[in-house]
Structure 1
Amino acid sequence: MRTTSAVIGCGDVSSVHFEALAKLDGATLVGVCDPDPQRLASAMAAYGVPGFADHQSLIEAVRPDVVHICTPHDRHASVAADCLERGVHVIVEKPLAHTLAEGRRLVEAAAAGRAKIAVCFQNRYNATSQAMHSLLSTGGLGRVLGASATVTWQRTAEYYRDRPWRGSWAGGGGGLMMNQAIHTVDLLQWLVGDVTAVSGNASTRFLGGTIEVEDTAEFVAEHANGARSAFYATLAHATNAPVTLDVVTEEAVLSLRGDLTVAYGDGRVEVVPERRSESGGRSYWGVSHELLISDFYARLGDADPFWISPAEAVKSLRIVKDVYRQSYPESAARVS
């Protein structure tokens, strides 16, 4: 049985979705959508399918089984909810939504059960992430004592000028924390445990003349299991350095630096290499979009919701928005 698919939003990140669909047995691309005429024309020419300026017209005309939503953040929840209500399955890029209210709306739409939805926290499929989760969830390493994570990357003024929505509250819902570091925030809470309290700060340290959102942030989180984690991220680095994520347990220290190193208390050391993948996408998008997308299609017939659901994705959104509320108390409505 073949599954028909469409891509809504033909900007940068859509490239990895098109790549994954091309490799997926049983999936047929039947349409693309983008309000920008030039991007839409390029996608139509590249993939030989009809194009539409709005998602409602696409759904009505080609009736896809699955849509991939790769729009700016402020369109994620509204487009996804429209598709779910019409029984169309959804893969939506992160973040879940640009506001917490819209995120909750999508949680409710998913709970109605008219169709399946996945949120692209693809780094959960990394070999290193899977290994860390397996080691921590079995309990064999003892109690988790604490964790830390860093994202020290580079973004330029030109990056934001090319897509102005990225640097705005209205379009992006935030800056660094929403567009780059939310993947690591997601991994931190998934690996260590649900977050019960956050104390943090977000600020604009060097791109203030270009963006209205933050380029640097830090927080300390308390987890339900009693562990504490520390997080730091910035876009002021000279390069896109490897993400770091360290988890300290009673019996071992797990250190992610590209590959995963597990140093046990008895002196043993194990290394779990990360997979390598050829892709036209940017290296900092990771190597696992294809795995997430393939897994989602394989589970379309399952009765249960997809495991990276809006209910899962809203957890990292809450953490980010909590930091924003603490950092910009005078602008609560804008950063919510």
Structure 2
Amino acid sequence: MPKAAIIGCGDVSVVHFEALDGMDDADLVAVCDTDPGRRAAAQAAHGVPAFEDYRDMLATAAPDVVHITTPHHEHAAMAIECLRRGVHVVLEKPLAHTLAEGERLLAAAAASTARIGVCFQNRYNAPVQATRRLLDSGDLGRVLGASATVMWHRDADYYLSRPWRGSWGGGGGGLMMNQAIHTVDLLQWLLGDVVELSGSASARALAGTIEVEDTAEFAAVHNSGARSVFYATLANTLNAPVTVDISTEKATLSLRGDLTVTYDDGRSDVVRERAAGSGGRSYWGVSHALLIADFYESLAQPGPFWIDAAEAAKSLRIVKELYRQSYPGSEAKVS
């Protein structure tokens, strides 16, 4: 049975703990966090040794799989160290906070016998899976284009409570790296790799609090020939449902939690999302546990995990190209 450990016992770690608690083929053996309060709470809740330094944890607890749920700027270095030691990695998005760190992690993953999976869990959502199957079947004809929106709300306290979120050095960006990257990933996964992009990003509501963006938009061309348009903001008054609308020659597919397929002949089908069964936040979706269980099952199979470093790098490159156009020099900034 694989021995598992979690580095980073903050907000999103709850869904990783839940996933491991629900699995019969994984054994949590250690937790790690630099914050004494979070570290003590995780140790008390899960009854396993707790470490301040992740390298000490790797050496002492000797886990087979490490879940990295830390701030973005720590992702690459921690994942690289695990892979160097032959330890498998489940990594929260994004792949890294800079392109350079992302490339270093890509190289480490290619050189390691261990594997890495990146948490773009929304690909496991039942309506998203159904959308991919329909598009792949060819029954709907050629994909013409798509639009997507992320209309959410974050206030100053959200950033003041975790200052890394609002900085280039800590988060590698704002809205696009921390919230909207999931929807960017879905667009490129469903329509194909982005080969052209033009857009902008700026702070519309939180300019006095953060140095990164809270609003962004772009238009993209995919290698399939389809076009997509994208708009996201944290200046909305509430967290509205994420939308992805895809037009094809024979139907329109609308993702708003559930999937509604409206055919040109007037028929329509609906694919419902599973009910959330997690203590995590609703906007994280319902599929972390599915991705994590799939990753563990893949350890007995040949080849990389299907959402690996190379796959996760696609959305990172899209976001960083948007930043290159909007914030020249942002990659060189540090906190």
Normalised by the size of structure 2, how large is the TM-score? 0.98
* In structure 2, C-alpha distance between the alignment counterparts of 1:320 and 1:258, rounded to whole Å: 23
Partner of 2:251: 252
Alpha-carbon shift at residue 332 of structure 1 (Å): 5.2
Alpha-carbon shift at residue 330 of structure 1 (Å): 5.0
Deviations along 1:121-158, one digit per CA (max 9) or x if unpaired, are 00000001100001011211111100000000011111
CA contact (8 A) 2:198 2:218 kept: yes
* In structure 2, C-alpha distance between the alignment counterparts of 1:95 and 1:108, rounded to whole Å: 16
CA contact (8 A) 1:5 1:28 kept: yes
Alpha-carbon shift at residue 174 of structure 1 (Å): 0.2
Tell me the secondary structure at the aligned position of residue 195 of structure 2: strand
CA contact (8 A) 2:252 2:263 kept: yes
* In structure 2, C-alpha distance between the alignment counterparts of 1:133 and 1:313, rounded to whole Å: 18
* In structure 2, C-alpha distance between the alignment counterparts of 1:142 and 1:109, rounded to whole Å: 40
Alpha-carbon shift at residue 326 of structure 1 (Å): 0.2
* In structure 1, C-alpha distance between the alignment counterparts of 2:43 and 2:330, rounded to whole Å: 41
Task: Give me the CA root mean square deviation.
Answer: 1.0
CA contact (8 A) 1:154 1:235 kept: yes
Partner of 1:124: 123
Partner of 2:262: 263
CA contact (8 A) 1:165 1:172 kept: yes
* In structure 2, C-alpha distance between the alignment counterparts of 1:139 and 1:329, rounded to whole Å: 41
Does residue 63 (structure 1) correspond to residue 66 (structure 2)? The answer is: no
Deviating more after overlay: 99-108 vs 179-188: 99-108
CA contact (8 A) 2:143 2:246 kept: yes
Flag the 1:140–1:113 CA change in 2: closer, same or farther, 3 A.
farther
Does residue 81 (structure 1) correspond to residue 80 (structure 2)? The answer is: yes
Query: In the comparison of the two structures, how many residue pairs are matched?
Result: 334
CA contact (8 A) 2:168 2:330 kept: no
Query: Superposed, which structure 2 residues align to 1:285-300 within 5 Å?
Result: 285-300=284-299
* In structure 2, C-alpha distance between the alignment counterparts of 1:147 and 1:331, rounded to whole Å: 29
* In structure 2, C-alpha distance between the alignment counterparts of 1:64 and 1:331, rounded to whole Å: 36
Partner of 1:216: 215
Does residue 162 (structure 1) correspond to residue 161 (structure 2)? The answer is: yes
* In structure 2, C-alpha distance between the alignment counterparts of 1:251 and 1:54, rounded to whole Å: 55
Alpha-carbon shift at residue 328 of structure 1 (Å): 1.2
Does residue 205 (structure 1) correspond to residue 204 (structure 2)? The answer is: yes
In structure 1, give the amino acid aligned to 2:7: I
CA contact (8 A) 1:16 1:289 kept: yes
In structure 1, give the amino acid aligned to 2:90: I
Q: Which runs of 5+ in 2 are unaligned?
A: none
Deviations along 1:88-125, one digit per CA (max 9) or x if unpaired, are 01000000000011111111111123201100000000
CA contact (8 A) 2:323 2:330 kept: no
Flag the 1:105–1:330 CA change in 2: closer, same or farther, 3 A.
closer
Does residue 181 (structure 1) correspond to residue 180 (structure 2)? The answer is: yes
Partner of 2:44: 45
* In structure 2, C-alpha distance between the alignment counterparts of 1:169 and 1:35, rounded to whole Å: 21
* In structure 1, C-alpha distance between the alignment counterparts of 2:210 and 2:68, rounded to whole Å: 25
* In structure 2, C-alpha distance between the alignment counterparts of 1:101 and 1:132, rounded to whole Å: 33
CA contact (8 A) 2:116 2:308 kept: yes
Q: Which runs of 5+ in 1 are unaligned?
A: none
In structure 2, give the amino acid aligned to 1:60: A
Partner of 2:71: 72
Does residue 301 (structure 1) correspond to residue 318 (structure 2)? The answer is: no
Tell me the secondary structure at the aligned position of residue 329 of structure 1: coil
* In structure 2, C-alpha distance between the alignment counterparts of 1:331 and 1:207, rounded to whole Å: 18
Alpha-carbon shift at residue 3 of structure 1 (Å): 1.3
CA contact (8 A) 1:86 1:114 kept: no
Alpha-carbon shift at residue 178 of structure 1 (Å): 0.1
Partner of 1:333: 332
In structure 2, give the amino acid aligned to 1:87: G
Deviations along 1:210-234, one digit per CA (max 9) or x if unpaired, are 1111000000011111111000000
Alpha-carbon shift at residue 277 of structure 1 (Å): 2.1
* In structure 1, C-alpha distance between the alignment counterparts of 2:170 and 2:73, rounded to whole Å: 5
Partner of 2:4: 5
Normalised by the size of structure 1, how large is the TM-score? 0.98
CA contact (8 A) 1:142 1:251 kept: yes
